[in-house]
Amino acid sequence: MNTQLDVAIVLAAGEGTRMKSQTPKVLHSIAGKTIIAHVLDQVTELKAKQVRVVVGHGRELVEPEIKAISPSATTVFQSERNGTGHAVQLALADLKATGTVLILAGDTPLLRSETLAEFLVAHSEAKNLVSVLTSQLPDPSGYGRIVRDETGSIVAIVEERDAPDEIKEIDEINTGVYLFDIAALRESVAKLKNDNSQGELYLTDVIAHIKSGTGKAAAILSFDYTETLGINDRSQLAECAAIMRDRINDSHMRAGVSIIDPTTTWIDFGVKIANDVTIYPGSALFGKTSIESGAIIGPRTSLNNVIVAKGASVIESNCTDCEIGAESTVGPFTFLRAGTKLAANSKAGAYVEIKNSTVGEGSKIPHLSYVGDATIGTGTNIGAATVFVNYDGVEKHRTEIGNEVRIGSDTMLVAPVTVGDGAYTAAGSIITENVPAGAIGVARAKQRNILGWVLRKRSGTRSAQAAAKAGATEEKGS
């Protein structure tokens, strides 16, 4: 039996009007991957000798994506959308191949290559000239219906728009996935007519044509209808995204990841998660994020291209393009921006924002601080409400903080500035000059108390009453 696939044709020229979007339909994303990338990745698994994609609307945007996903695929331009049959005519026009061709739509991202491979086996075993993959939908409206005769074999596909009521009641639909003998397809598509409600050439009419000849045509029912859902509007996009989310979460859970609430946990395709990671509700893991064993993520945490090392915890936080070291703690309410590197056992606590900075092993920024463009050594503590003043209004400057430094609360570190190993800064200091190792930088006005001020200037207030009760007088003192 020959299960070699000679050609795969993906139809992706449609405008996707119902998406009401500036972005071509097939470039909308699900789980961090465009719809067309999902389809092409599955097609690639089948190892067809040639892959052709029919493009039209938004071609200048769609073609680069196709090149990036499947460099060996070729594109065919359909300047006017005259229907799926017309798209296939164009794809076949200069095609030299013979054998078997798979045709599918670029808007069905949930189809799995395993299902396509089984479909190919069934088609080859039965020696069909055409096989169409069908499914039974709870709500078949909008799809082409499969009409079978009394023996159960397919007679025709009727589009909903052209269907009388009794055909609309059929719940078996055309998924838009077909296998054809190339020669038979070539002969049949040449004969298509646009005598239908849309005035288009319907690829689906080829079935009845092949069937009316001597060719063997079959409709093969797929067992999982969710795989065959197509995306035409934003609700279907959300529906497919939720199915993909469940699939991705299931595969992580089977691999030993605890996902406390899979319905509110969204994980992109390329994310890597080791076993014994726990993900709490409301978390989203995007891009090339990777998480090592024992880490705790969430609740309500979003990570985009973040590397989280063993045993770290990231709670109620938003992190992008950064690295979080082993056993470190981040959050709650922490914002780690691009270029942040937290070494092992470090801490970025509540209401802390860090950008383009390295934080050494065991160092802590526990509360309410901004750290930008800095290098912080090991074992250092940054007091609450410290700001790394990195921007002079024109340029950004760096701050270097040594090992075992104690930055007092509410210090402004005006960059460029360096604080040496073991140095301190006094709370409330505005540090504009380097602090040498072992020194304390004090940069604040000396405090003076004006005795009796409240009793003199705010007499009669509750503060004045409390002060008087505590024994204060109007005396200025010395």
Considering the complex, state which of residue 109 and residue 383 has its C-beta at the smaller distance from ligand UD1: 109
Q: Which one of the listed residues 38, 86, 252, 367 is annotated catalytic?
A: 367
Query: Residue 456: which of Mg ion, ligand UD1, none does it interact with, CB under 5 to 8 A by kind?
Result: none
Give yes or no for residue 84 binding ligand UD1 (CB under 6 A).
yes
Considering the complex, state which of residue 19 and residue 431 has its C-beta at the smaller distance from Mg ion: 19
Q: DSSP class of residue 144?
A: P
Query: Residue 87: which of Mg ion, ligand UD1, none does it interact with, CB under 5 to 8 A by kind?
Result: ligand UD1
Task: Give the footprint of ligand UD1 on residues 98-157 (CB under 6 A).
Answer: 105-107, 143-144, 157
Task: Give the footprint of Mg ion on residues 221-240 (CB under 5 A).
Answer: 230
CB of 36 to ligand UD1, least distance (A): 9
226: exposed, middle or buried (C-beta count within 10 Å: 0-12, 13-18, 19+)? middle
CB of 10 to Mg ion, least distance (A): 13
72: phi > 0 → left, psi -120 to 50 → alpha, else beta; which?
alpha
- CB under 8 Å to 56, separation ≥6 — which residues? 12, 13, 14, 15, 77, 78, 79, 80, 81
Query: Residue 86: which of ligand UD1, Mg ion, none does it interact with, CB under 5 to 8 A by kind?
Result: ligand UD1
**Residue 18 main-chain phi, psi, to 5 deg:** -70, -10
The C-alpha atoms of residue 65 and residue 28 are separated, in whole angstroms, by: 11
- Reference 103, options 228, 189, 186, 7; nearest CA is 7
CB of 84 to ligand UD1, least distance (A): 3
The C-alpha atoms of residue 67 and residue 71 are separated, in whole angstroms, by: 4
CB atoms within 10 A of CB 21: 16
Q: DSSP class of residue 228?
A: G
Query: Residue 408: which of ligand UD1, Mg ion, none does it interact with, CB under 5 to 8 A by kind?
Result: none
Q: Alpha-carbon Rg of the chain, whole angstroms?
A: 33
Residue where the block lists tokens 């993909």? 244
Question: Is 28 known to be catalytic?
Answer: no
Stretch near ligand UD1 under the rule CB under 6 A, chosen from 171-179, 215-223, 296-304, 393-401: 171-179
Among 28, 38, 52, 86, binds ligand UD1 (CB under 6 A): 86
Q: How many residues does the chain have?
A: 478
The C-alpha atoms of residue 94 and residue 337 are separated, in whole angstroms, by: 51
Among 13, 43, 237, 354, binds ligand UD1 (CB under 6 A): 13
Among 11, 110, 133, 267, binds ligand UD1 (CB under 6 A): 11
CB of 170 to ligand UD1, least distance (A): 12
Catalytic amino acids?
A: 367
- Name the site residues for Mg ion (rule: CB under 5 A): 230
